[in-house]
């Protein structure tokens, strides 16, 4: 039976390119001991050169493999940035030119029974022959073997691929197409969940292909609120392969997007897969947690994996929690020569073949983000996508009236802040005299960059514009949805962002801590799933121009707010349905309050009600005093050699984050590797510590000059 052996540990690494490093007898004693995911260069948080990680490096791994007759050995690298050459026992096996797709090699002929040496040359230069490079790019692709590596051992008769899809969710059918090596043989397909079988059929393969169709299955549908997954287990005499599957239909139409036949307004954010200090090299838990943040801390129903296929862990988690994904090929504005386009076509192929069984993926992006028209190239990318999968295609453009070869017209709609309406009418953008399936794939971003510790008024305006855009997107049936730029701040090249190499475009900062705009999204959720009650204020008289806290936006899903300003009568406020009629939960905006100029600044308490029942309270001190550091373990399932995130907040005596508290904190870690430096400044009164667990007991302590030591202990 199939064996999957993780190859993440025990690598040797050198940040130089050594002659003969592939040679099994090469002396690698000067190399560092590392494990994967690995970045070729740890970077500061910001202010670094955007070429620091652009070099060729060498990785080596000595490994004992039990080589048996009749078995096939596949080595799968899930992500190497940007170009890789694989050598086994001194012999060249193959090369790979994409940082985001699987580099998979059959190494059977190269290995011996016993000790083997695997050597990888990693070129992290921004090579113009590797998409997205050739022009400028507004993000970094970093370097190194930055995702997992596995050795897959099968018998020589093995299952190459399983492809499952449903054509009719009313009938609840399932088509399973299997490709196999070797002779014609019996193939069994079973549908299971929690030990119960929902269907089982057998077929005999013919020329390496088998096809099985189920109908009228008694299964539950997969959707965003109830993401039911089934195991589809394919078995032959010598092999077994299973996939997770969700029964669902997903369709973009002229009247918006339909999931299982019901219209669903898509509200989403773009995500870059980068993290502070280590760039892309973050293991499974960090990928899971980004999906969780999008779903549970941002409340969106779709993410665009701008501008490349994300980690398989990220998509697995999207399947599990019911977060829809728009996945696209690597690229940013630039289209290269014919060889570059061929590579891009290969990327379309590799992306779809890797991810076409995921229920969360609802759309393939087969156009280089924001590139010019290229009729022949995009005719080919669309045709290829359609030949591999049933899903619709989209191509993200910024130019209105550009050639529409895809199924969904996707556009980045950057309307300046002073222009209304905040998005353009679909027909203005398509240039067509009729409706087509239409999706807004970016807005805001560079139109209004905002730092987590910016002046309150800017953070408030940032949030307000996000709310206005979503309100508008919800108002037009032909707009399937709008996906904002972007979820998290990210490191970038010198040509973008502020000159510290960060694009401050996120509704959260680079540490995944919230700016006010994040609450615009979160507050749209049904209060039954959780009450959201977030006043966008630090409650200070002198922070805003001219003074005072008005207008004070409260992003919330309650239906009434009562403000009690110390010593005054309570005042009630209600959701602003007049200005935000289309948002499920308009913000409550306090535009007037008792005159305070020249008198003493007082404490305030906000009470939130649903159907006159008190459901939330937020109290602010007019005289906040640093009270404690809070450490919150965000990781649900800590594992060895995986990441754990600990959120740090500096709180006042009312448990409010002190947004301008930027005093340094000292971090002390036992049993794990700290990602980034051990003395850091808080930003927006917050920080995130990531550690990589190296032992079964871990302790993390944090202290600052004025806030006493706090410790968390984690047992794996």
Catalytic residues: 370, 442
Between 171 and 419, name the residue whose CB sits nearer to ligand GAL: 419
Q: How far is the CB of 126 from ligand GAL (least distance, A)?
A: 16
CB of 300 to ligand GAL, least distance (A): 17
In 16-173, the DSSP E strands lie at 32-34, 56-65, 71-77, 80-81, 83-88, 91-96, 103-106, 114-123, 144-145, 149-155, 159-165
Tell me the residue number closest to ligand GAL, measured at CB. 445
Strand duo 266-270 + 479-484: pairing: parallel
Asked if 13 and 37 count as a contact pair (C-beta separation under 8 A), the reply is no
DSSP 431-461: --SS---EEEEE-BGGGS---TTS-HHHHHH
Q: Is 446 in the site for ligand GAL (CB under 6 A)?
A: yes
Q: Min. distance of Cβ 510 from ligand GAL in angstroms?
A: 15
Tell me: does residue 485 bind ligand GAL (CB under 6 A): yes
- Rg of the chain in Å (alpha carbons): 27
Nearer to ligand GAL, 287 or 412 (CB): 412
> Helix, strand, coil: what percent of the chain each, to 5?
15, 40, 50
Q: b vs e for 481-518, b when ≥16 Cβ sit within 10 Å of the residue's Cβ?
A: bbbbbbbbbbbbbeebbeeebbbbbbbbbbbbbbbbbb
- Between 99 and 221, whose beta carbon lies closer to ligand GAL? 99
What is the nearest approach in angstroms of ligand GAL to the Cβ of residue 102? Answer: 24
| Complex with ligand GAL: residue 187 or 411, whichever CB lies closer | 411
Coil vs helix vs strand at 516: helix
Residues 398-417 that bind ligand GAL (CB under 6 A): 412
Nearest CB to ligand GAL, comparing residues 370 and 389: 370
User: Which residue stretch of 189-197, 200-208, 441-449, 629-637 sits at the interface with ligand GAL (rule: CB under 6 A)?
Assistant: 441-449
Q: Tell me phi and psi for residue 469, to 5 degrees.
A: -65, -45
Tokens read off for 414: 């950057």
Smallest distance, ligand GAL to C-beta of residue 1, A = 44
Q: Does 493 bind ligand GAL (CB under 6 A)?
A: no
Q: What angle do CA 469, 475, 476 make, to 5 degrees?
A: 105
Which of 148, 319, 370, 489 lies at the binding interface for ligand GAL (CB under 6 A)? 370
Instruction: Provide DSSP, 358-399.
Output: -TTEEEEE-S-TTPPP-HHHHHHHHHHHHHH-SSEEEEEE-S
Regarding 642 and contact with ligand GAL (CB under 6 A), the answer is no
Distance CA 397, CA 378 (A): 12
Residue 350 binding ligand GAL, by CB under 6 A = no
As a whole number of angstroms, the distance between CA 451 and CA 433 comes to 41
Instruction: Give 290 or 292: the residue with its C-beta nearer to ligand GAL.
Output: 290
**Given the rule CB under 6 A, which of 438-446, 553-561, 682-690, 696-704 is the region that contacts ligand GAL?**
438-446
* CB of 547 vs ligand GAL, minimal distance in Å: 32
Of 138 and 464, CB closest to ligand GAL:
138
Q: Least distance in Å: CB of 503 to ligand GAL?
A: 7
Question: Which CB, 190 or 397, lies closer to ligand GAL?
Answer: 397
Q: Is 442 in the site for ligand GAL (CB under 6 A)?
A: yes
Q: Are 570 and 564 in contact (CB under 8 A)?
A: yes
Footprint on residues 108-127 left by ligand GAL (CB under 6 A): none
Q: Does 304 bind ligand GAL (CB under 6 A)?
A: no
Q: Is 505 in the site for ligand GAL (CB under 6 A)?
A: yes
In the complex, least distance from residue 365 CB atom to ligand GAL, rounded to whole angstroms: 11
Interface stretch with ligand GAL, choices 108-116, 440-448, 560-568, 678-686 (CB under 6 A) = 440-448
Q: Are strands 533-535 and 552-556 parallel, antiparallel or unpaired?
A: antiparallel
Shortest reach from residue 330's CB to ligand GAL, in Å? 12
d(CA 268, CA 473): 11
Nearer to ligand GAL (CB atom), residue 331 or residue 426: 331
One residue of 78, 123, 138, 316 binding ligand GAL per CB under 6 A: 138
Looking only at residues 51 through 110 of this chain, which bind ligand GAL when binding is defined by CB under 6 A? none
Quick check: 649 binds ligand GAL (CB under 6 A)? Answer: no
Instruction: Looking at residues 315 to 344 of the shown chain, list those that interact with ligand GAL (rule: CB under 6 A).
Output: none
Contact (Cβ atoms closer than 8 angstroms) between residue 327 and residue 348: no
CB distance 328 to 345 below 8 Å = no
Least Cα distance to 400 among 367, 370, 437, 436 occurs for 370
User: Across 634-709, where does the E strand assignment appear?
Assistant: 643-652, 664-670, 672-674, 679-681, 686-693, 697-704
Torsion angles phi and psi, residue 431, rounded to 5: 75, 10
Interface residue with ligand GAL, options 309, 445, 535, 608 (CB under 6 A): 445
φ, ψ for residue 687 (rounded to 5)?
-165, 165
**Count of residues binding ligand GAL (CB under 6 A)?**
10
- Contact segment (CB under 6 A) with ligand GAL among 95-103, 277-285, 439-447, 587-595 equals 439-447
Residues forming the site for ligand GAL (CB under 6 A): 138, 306, 369-370, 412, 442, 445-446, 485, 505
């Amino acid at each position: 039976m199939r064996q999957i052996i993780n190859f993440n540990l025990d690598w040797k690494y050198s940040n130089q390119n050594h002659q003969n490093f592939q040679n099994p007898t090469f002396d690698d004693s000067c190399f560092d001991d590392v494990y994967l995911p690995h970045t070729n260069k740890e970077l500061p948080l910001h202010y670094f050169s955007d070429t620091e990680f652009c070099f060729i490096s060498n990785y080596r791994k000595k490994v004992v493999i039990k080589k048996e007759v009749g078995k096939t050995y596949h080595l799968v690298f899930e992500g190497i940035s940007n170009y890789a050459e694989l050598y086994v026992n001194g012999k060249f096996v193959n090369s790979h030119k994409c940082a985001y797709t699987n580099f998979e090699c059959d190494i059977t002929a190269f290995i011996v029974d016993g000790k083997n040496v695997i050597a990888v040359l990693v070129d992290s230069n921004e090579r113009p022959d590797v998409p997205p490079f050739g022009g400028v790019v507004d993000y970094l692709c970093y370097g190194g073997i930055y995702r997992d590596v596995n050795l897959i051992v099968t018998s020589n008769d093995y299952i190459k691929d399983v492809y499952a899809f449903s054509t009719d969710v009313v009938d609840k059918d399932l088509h399973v197409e299997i490709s196999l090596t070797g002779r014609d043989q019996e193939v069994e397909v079973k549908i299971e969940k929690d030990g119960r079988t929902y269907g089982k059929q057998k077929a005999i393969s013919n020329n390496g292909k088998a096809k099985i169709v189920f109908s009228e299955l008694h299964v539950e549908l997969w959707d965003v609120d109830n993401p039911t997954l089934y195991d589809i287990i394919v078995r032959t005499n010598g092999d077994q392969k299973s996939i997770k599957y969700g029964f669902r239909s997903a369709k973009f139409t002229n009247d918006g997007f339909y999931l299982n036949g019901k219209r669903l307004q898509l509200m989403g954010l773009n995500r870059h897969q980068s993290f502070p200090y280590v760039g892309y090299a973050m293991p499974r838990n960090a990928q899971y947690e980004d999906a969780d943040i999008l779903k549970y801390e941002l409340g969106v129903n779709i993410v665009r994996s701008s501008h490349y296929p994300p980690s398989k862990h990220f998509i697995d988690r999207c399947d599990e929690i019911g977060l829809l994904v728009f996945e696209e090929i690597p690229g940013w504005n630039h289209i290269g020569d014919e060889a570059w386009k061929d590579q891009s076509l290969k990327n379309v192929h590799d992306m779809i073949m890797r991810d076409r069984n995921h229920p969360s993926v609802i759309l393939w992006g087969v156009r280089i983000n924001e590139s010019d028209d290229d009729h022949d190239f995009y005719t080919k990318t669309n045709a290829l996508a359609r030949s591999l999968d049933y899903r619709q295609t989209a191509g993200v453009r910024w130019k209105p009236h550009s050639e529409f070869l895809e199924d969904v017209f996707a556009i980045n709609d950057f309307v300046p802040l002073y222009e209304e309406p905040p998005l353009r009418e679909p027909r203005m953008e398509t240039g067509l005299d009729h409706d087509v399936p239409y999706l807004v794939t970016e807005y805001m971003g560079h139109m209004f960059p905002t730092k987590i510790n910016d002046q309150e008024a800017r953070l408030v305006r940032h949030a307000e514009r996000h709310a206005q855009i979503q309100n508008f997107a919800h108002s037009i049936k032909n707009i399937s949805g709008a996906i904002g730029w972007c979820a998290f701040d990210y490191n970038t090249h010198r040509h973008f962002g502020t000159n510290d190499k960060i694009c401050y475009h996120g509704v959260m900062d680079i540490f995944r801590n919230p700016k006010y705009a994040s609450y615009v999204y979160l507050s749209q959720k049904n209060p039954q799933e959780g009450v959201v009650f977030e006043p966008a204020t630090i409650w200070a008289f002198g922070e805003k121009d001219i003074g005072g806290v008005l207008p004070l936006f409260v992003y919330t899903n309650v239906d009434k707010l009562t403000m009690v300003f110390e010593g005054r009568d309570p005042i009630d406020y209600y959701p602003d349905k007049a200005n935000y009629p289309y948002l499920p939960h308009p913000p409550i905006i306090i535009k007037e309050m008792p005159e305070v100029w020249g008198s003493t600044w007082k404490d305030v308490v906000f009470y939130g009600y649903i159907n006159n029942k008190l459901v939330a309270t937020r109290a602010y001190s007019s005289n906040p005093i640093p009270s404690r550091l809070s450490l919150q373990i965000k990781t649900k399932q800590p594992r060895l050699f995986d990441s754990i995130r600990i959120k740090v907040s500096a709180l006042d005596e009312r448990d409010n984050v002190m947004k301008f508290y930027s005093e340094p904190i000292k971090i002390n870690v036992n049993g794990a590797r700290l990602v980034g430096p051990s003395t850091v400044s808080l930003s927006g009164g917050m920080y995130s510590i990531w550690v990589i667990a190296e032992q079964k007991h871990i302790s993390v302590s944090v202290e600052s000059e004025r806030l006493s030591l706090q410790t968390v202990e984690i047992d794996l």
